[in-house]
Chains A and B, each alone.
Chain A
Amino acid sequence: MDSPLRLITTEVTPAAELARTIEALLVVASQPLPLEELAAAAQVDSAEVEQSLELLAEKFSEERSGIVLEHVAGGYAFRASAAATEACARLFEKPVEKGLSQAALETLAIVAYLGPVTRPEIARIRGVNVDGVIAGLAERGLIAEGGRENEFGAIRYRTTPLFERIFGLESLASLPAADDLGADVTEIRERLEAVAEKRPA
């Protein structure tokens, strides 16, 4: 006579029910879903979704599951566990990030930090023509057109949510602060002068 017992164990609390719904939404989505979109689809408020996400993060963690919940590109999404990498690699490719050149990464970095930014502006910083690199990045879906400098001006480029996803960024704010990158102007200045002094007059 275990049927009444089974009835009790399958009874679902509202919180667990919402967690199920959120889980279902994330499994259908092919890109990260922002908190607000999850709340709108489940017809609850954001605070409740956040609670569900906490439950789900526990359930879908590297330690416990082949599916891992991550907060990325301004939303929440499932990815495969790192433990399943080899099997995944046998079945799937990663065409977007495959074979990104140094030039592409530098250009991508400039767009990420300074975007929306025009091609001439990028070319001025890199010192070379960037038309080909820009076209390649746009084709991969890592950058996209984001308006114009003015009505008839140069096209401005910005990074896409896919860029944040590929690089595992919650948002562009997750990039390291620009001031923390590389040498500062005075240091470079000193080095330039050192080179100039060594040069025979």
Chain B
Amino acid sequence: MPAVRELELDLDAFEGPFDLLLSLVLREELPLREVDLAEIVIAFIENLSERGELDLDACGEFLVLISALLELKARAMFPDEDAELAELEPEEAAEELARRLAEYRRAKEAANWLRGRLDERRDLFFRTGPAPLAPKPERKLAQQDPTKLVAALRGLAIEPPTPSTAHMALRFPPVTQFLDRWRSLLRRRTRFDFDQEVAGLTRVEVAVAFLALLELRKQDEIAIAQSGPFAPIRISRADAERSLSWTAHSA
């Protein structure tokens, strides 16, 4: 089993075994701030799960190493105040210390002054409840010109154009509708009067009904007779017509 230090890493800032990363960091050849430590943790956990067995020694070693790296990185990211002080000459350090003490002393004195002030006002009562709701500030509208309103209304007052019905086509009822109608009528009666049957229908319907008649005549199912122009059109079954003519002949 490979030791923790041989853990292969493929990071943004570094590629190679963990051991090499450690020595580079310690020799300050690789800035730790650029290394994503979370990626190392993920790589280790993946490696661990691939092996399928829990190596407590390896985990322990890894924890020690990664926490040391975390600490180093944290120190690198935050300026270390103690280090700042440590860099100072003894003389400067004493000065800095005195300055800070004076600052704190001042805060303490100010606190004492506030305490005194509080004691003076201890006996004074006043209202400190929440303020009543302020009235909503009036919304100021810009100065308006009434003629503009007139113009706007005038635009609305124009009568709209009559809608065009040009798209609505004439509706013709199907010829078959009247074919069926005439045929069923002729089954019940041998003859009928066209004008009587189409009374109440529209002009278009009358025209279609007439077309149906011509169709029936063409098929030789009916006979059509009209005694003169504009006289009633008489329709009769073709066989009835024949018998009739035969009767007429015989008569």
Contacts and interface: CB of A to CB of B under 8 A. Distances in A.
Interface of A: 28-31, 77-80, 82, 84-85, 88-89, 92, 94, 96-97, 100, 102, 105-106, 108-110, 112-113, 125-127, 162, 165-169, 175-176, 178, 181-186, 188-189, 192-193
A167 B122 CA distance: 9
Given A106-B107, A113-B106, A178-B106, 12 more contacts: A30-B127, A79-B125, A82-B123, A89-B125, A92-B125, A109-B114, A112-B114, A127-B104, A167-B114, A168-B124, A181-B113, A182-B109
Contacts of B114: 105, 108-109, 112, 167
B75 interface: no
Interface of B: 94-95, 97-115, 117-118, 120-132
A100 B122 CA distance: 12
A169 B116 CA distance: 13
Given A79-B126, A105-B111, A165-B126, A188 B121 contact: no
Chain A at the B interface: SS class: helix
22 contacts: A29-B131, A30-B129, A30-B131, A77-B126, A78-B126, A78-B127, A80-B125, A85-B123, A85-B124, A94-B125, A100-B118, A106-B111, A108-B111, A108-B114, A110-B107, A125-B104, A167-B121, A181-B106, A182-B105, A188-B101, A188-B105, A192-B97
Contacts of B106: 113, 178, 181-182
